[in-house]
Structures are given as C-alpha cells and as structure tokens.
Homo-oligomer: A and B are copies of this chain.
Amino acid sequence: MSHPLQSGPLRLGIAGLGTVGVGVVRILRKQADLLEARTGRKITISAVSARSKDKDRGVNLSGYAWEDDPVALAKRDDVDVFVELIGGDEGPAKDATEAALGAGKDVVTANKAMLAIHGQSLAEQAEAAGRHIRYEAAVAGGIPVIKVLNEALAGNEITRVMGVMNGSCNYILTRMEDAGLPYEDVFAEADGLGYLEADPALDVGGIDAAHKLAILSSIAFGSRVDFDGIDLEGIERVSIEDIRAAAGMGYKIKLLGVAQMTGRGLEQRMQPCLVPDTSPLGQLSGGTNMIVLEGDAVGQIVLRGPGAGEGPTASAVLSDICDLARGWQGPVFGQKASTLTNTASAMSQAPAAFYLRMGLLDKPGALAKVATVLGEAGISIDRMRQTAHHNDHAPVLIVTHKTTRSALDDALAAMAKTGVLASDPVALRIEDL
C-alpha cells in the first residue's frame, strides 16, 4: 500500500475553487519550499476544476490544466491525489470521489455531508482499491480532531466525544445572551452578515454539526457512520428566557454534540444543552469550535480553534495532503471498514440532570401537582424556583437530579394531563463535564 511515486512530486487535482479551494491553492503556491522541506517532496497542482472557468478568484490558475468536469479531473493520469472541495452529499462530489478511487487515486475531502451519508460505502471502495480518503477539514475546520482521534488517541478506548461543532450556532447563542436579543433578531443579523449557509437549516437545524458528529462517532467507537441515528434538535426553539434562566443558575446553553457508547448501544445526540459556565465549553463564545475527547487512558483532551474560514479549513486540507506526501497509511474510519460495527443507535438513555422551564396556571396546588408528577416518575428535584406571576401564570424553573430521557418524557406526558400548565414545558439536558 505504499504510495506510488513516493519520491517524485505529489501531484494534485483540485475540484472546487470556492473559499477553501482558493485557500488551498494559495498555501501551495506561497509555502512550496516549506512544504517540500517538511514532506521531503514537491507538492504540485496538475489540474483544477470548478463551475466557472472565467471567474476572477484572485489567484493565478494559468499554470494548471482546467477540467470542466470533476470526474474527468479525478481520473487524470497526472493526478495522484484528488482534492474534493465541491461539497454536497450527492452529485459531482460523490461521482468524482468514486471515479478517483476507481482510478487508483487517494482522496482528500472537506465534505462532511458526503462522508456522513456515504462514508461506509466510500471507505469500502477505498480500502478495496488500496487507497486512502482523508478528511481533516470535514470536521471543526482548523481543529485537527480527525488526526487526534484517529492517531493520537489510538491507545485509548474512547468513552465520550463532545463538542460545539457549528460556529454559527454558537455565535447566535452567545450573541443572544450578550445583547439580550431574541432568537429571531440574532438569526436575521447572522444571516445578514453572511454567517449562515445558503440553507440556514443546515446550521440552525443542527444538520451540519450532526454530519460532523456522525463522522467522529464512527472513528471513536469503531461503528459505521450513522447520521440517521443521531437524536437531532436545532437551536430554533432556544429562547432568550432560557438563556437568561440558565445563566442565573450558572449554565450556558450550547448546541452540543455528544456521542458515547452505553450498554444499550451508541448514543449520538446533537441538541441544545446546558453546560457549566466555568467549563471550557461554557466559556466558549462566538464562532469558535471546541471538541472534547475522553479516553480511558488519557482522561480528557480539549481542542479549541476556528471551525470555518479560508485559512483554517485550507490548513486542515494541507494536513491531509502533507500526510499523503509523507506516505501516510491507514483505514478511513480508524479501522478497516469491514470491521466497523453496525450499532443500532439507541434513544438516549445515558442518565443526566435536566433543566425544565414551564409556566403554571394560577390555580391552587399547581406547583404541588408538578412536583408530584415528577416524584411519581422517580425523578427527584435538585433545585426549583418559582418567580412572581406574570400574565396569569407563574414561571417555574426546575433542575432535576439525574434521570433518563424516557422517565422525563413520561413525566412530561403526565404533567400535560394535570391541567396546570400554561404551555408546553421546555426540557434541556444538562451535560456532565
């Protein structure tokens, strides 16, 4: 499996010349000498491909062959590594990736959606062909979490992977708290600033972050990528009231991805959670990403850095390219694709404390009814606060002791039948750190 032409130049074909693609070309031109010193080889670009040939991208592409079709680029004889920066889980990105592997090329990609949906079949194809797929840029931008999880923690049984993996969501939640603004206002602001994907649901719906979590889970737990198994909830329903109430009790609300192996299977959650405001995750503000990795030997490792942007993402792509230039070898998801388990993802049963916020109608015994329902479901109360009545109902905050999501759901269903709720309660998990 050693790389062909390992002593000659490593020749790239780059498909996709958006922000990241242009960033990669820029680094390859600017740092050619440094890259050669570090990898022992010249790294060259043979050909590039993008939708429009004539667009001015601020970088000189005249020395590279142009291909209109990324599939044709992927198959070129003068390409050793196909660099896929097109994006999208289907279509040209996947077609060209498969063509590259079929033609015996290694692949470097930043495409989280493609890997989250088609990772298993692509890994099988790559391994059958004796080739590699590298994707550091697919998760958390400039943070080298793929390398750290795959290589640096190879001696660990991973116990939990956690993180804030979508900078736009973290920006929105942080900004809501700092400016005291409701979700809708900050969403509009972020959209106006160009912080959101063309389809904002990818960001605020948690889909983009869940793609990343699915990839990390596979490496961490030796399981097949299972995007559909993620318990997914976006930030659209996080209210400024919840952010304020959480802050008052020493918590921050984050769109937090968590993957852990339990007795009942692999749990993957991407949902708004409370974390202690003094924890590294609680202190993370703005668009920065953070990944927390926990292993039986190492304990806890925290990685923090820019999760997006030209430079950071291009840096991650270059990491993969340099590894391949140095002769890197390894399976796509940390162990051979054929040995990855097909874990039935369980509904979350890992016990946790929960934050509950509800409005109670102004009826005698309303609070007692809520407390009784919780008690009957076996859920004990750590803290409870009721504040003054407001518009005929009383805001109540409850922090439970540890319980399961299913016990909580039972309690919430019973609570709805008491007739004392002014509206559906908000229930958010409090993640242990």
CB<8 Å pairs between A and B, sample of 11: A1-B327, A27-B297, A144-B153, A154-B318, A154-B322, A156-B318, A297-B315, A298-B306, A298-B315, A299-B309, A326-B329
Among the stretches A32-40, A262-270, A397-405, the one at the interface with B is: A32-40
Assess whether A339 is interfacial by the CB under 8 Å rule. yes
In whole angstroms, how far apart are the Cα atoms of A295 and B322 in the complex? Answer: 16
In whole angstroms, how far apart are the Cα atoms of A317 and B155 in the complex? Answer: 9
Contact partner of A306 among B300, B306, B309, CB < 8 A?
A: B300
Contacting residues of chain A (21-54) with chain B, CB-CB under 8 angstroms: 23, 27, 31, 34-35, 37-40
Contact partner of A154 among B39, B143, B314, CB < 8 A?
A: B39
- Across chains A and B, which 4 residue pairs bring their CB atoms closest together, nearest first? A155-B318, A144-B152, A154-B322, A298-B315
Contact of A153 with B315 in the complex, beta carbons under 8 Å: yes
Assess whether A335 is interfacial by the CB under 8 Å rule. yes
In whole angstroms, how far apart are the Cα atoms of A151 and B297 in the complex? Answer: 23
Q: Which residues of B contact A389 (CB under 8 A)?
A: none
Q: Which residues of B contact A27 (CB under 8 A)?
A: 155, 297
Contact of B326 with A330 in the complex, beta carbons under 8 Å: yes
In whole angstroms, how far apart are the Cα atoms of A155 and B25 in the complex? Answer: 11
Taking A34-B222, A147-B147, A148-B152 as known contacts, 14 extra A-B pairs with beta carbons closer than 8 A to each other, sorted by chain A number, are: A1-B327, A31-B157, A144-B153, A144-B301, A147-B152, A148-B148, A155-B321, A280-B304, A297-B311, A297-B315, A297-B318, A301-B303, A301-B305, A327-B329
Assess whether A60 is interfacial by the CB under 8 Å rule. no
Contact partner of A339 among B37, B304, B306, CB < 8 A?
A: B37
Assess whether A72 is interfacial by the CB under 8 Å rule. no
Assess whether A418 is interfacial by the CB under 8 Å rule. no
Q: What 0/1 pattern do residues 172 to 189 of A give for CB contact below 8 A with B?
A: 000000000000000000
Q: Which residues of B contact A302 (CB under 8 A)?
A: 302-305
Contact of B303 with A303 in the complex, beta carbons under 8 Å: yes
Q: What 0/1 pattern do residues 310 to 328 of A give for CB contact below 8 A with B?
A: 0110111111011100111
Q: How far is the CB of A202 from chain B (nearest CB, A)?
A: 23
Q: How far is the CB of A226 from chain B (nearest CB, A)?
A: 18
Q: Which residues of B contact A38 (CB under 8 A)?
A: 154, 334-335
Q: How far is the CB of A391 from chain B (nearest CB, A)?
A: 38
Q: Which residues of B contact A148 (CB under 8 A)?
A: 144, 147-148, 152
Assess whether A142 is interfacial by the CB under 8 Å rule. yes
Assess whether A136 is interfacial by the CB under 8 Å rule. yes
Contact of A311 with B327 in the complex, beta carbons under 8 Å: no
Q: How far is the CB of A411 from chain B (nearest CB, A)?
A: 36
